[in-house]
Amino acid sequence: MNSESGDIEAEGRYGKPYECEGCGCFTVTALKIVIKRRKEKFLTEAGKDDDVMKLLFINACARERGISRTLELCDTFIEAFCEKHPETVVEELNLFRSGIKCYGIGEAERRDELVGRGRFSDEMFDAAHDFAAADVILVGAPCRDMSFPAVLKAYIENICVNRITFQYTSKGSEGLAAFSNMVYLTTCGGYLKDNSFGAAYMEGIAHFLGKGKYVSCCAEGLDILGNDAEAIMTCAKCDIRGIADGLVC
């Protein structure tokens, strides 16, 4: 590994890389150094020590605070979680302001080339490294067309990187992300019933990219005529505080 660029080489002063069962490629040992360094960089910039817990808040809400009901739920979780874990540093990634784009053929080919060369320090993988290094992940996304905003799917395309957030072995794929818990919060004007596709998809992503626990909460029926939207939100916030209090990190 080059100490300045952070690029991974097959051999280096960090020891013999881990050889995966499938192809003998170098993977986990070197990658953990990259992830650790990105986390150390984050903590250094935040002025924190090694005991800091990093909560990555992936904000997929188009509306701003004070308008977005999903953001209202997310802020409730963050407040409750930080009360219990005062050592927490929250990093918020606003997907609508991030410039994240869907992968086209050009992006996919560049990603594969960089991965093949072990160039994991390229800025193309910044989002994947940040995701992999987070201790707790909070995803906030309003229900849109039975799922969630397209920008969240674009983000997932950017973080699903072989040898950073997951790897292939002879037994299949294995998640590499460090999170102990992923929480998915959403709101819906109607009722999702058995069609909560967004929550189900994010649960699949959580199991694909890591070994942590997954939990979701939805405030639904908010726009149904005759419903008390404020009461629904109050009930959801109560559930969310319980989720935050019950997480084992």
Average pLDDT on 137-155 reads 97
Between 20 and 167, the higher pLDDT residue: 167
Using the predicted structure, report yes or no on whether residue 215 has a pLDDT greater than 50: yes
Averaged pLDDT of the chain: 85
CA contacts within 13 A on the Cβ side of 70: 27
pTM of structure = 0.81
pLDDT in tens, 109-128: 999 999 999 999 999 999 99
State the pLDDT at residue 40. 53
Contact 186, 142 (CB under 8 A): yes
Identify the structural domains of the chain with CATH numbers, from first to last: 48-246 (3.40.50.360)
State the pLDDT at residue 24. 35
Give the integer Cα–Cα distance in Å for 108 and 114.
Answer: 10
State the pLDDT at residue 195. 87
Beta-bridge partner residues of 175: 166
Between 3 and 54, the higher pLDDT residue: 54
Helix (H) or strand (E) holding 246: helix 229-246
DSSP 196-216: -HHHHHHHHHHHHHBSSEEEE
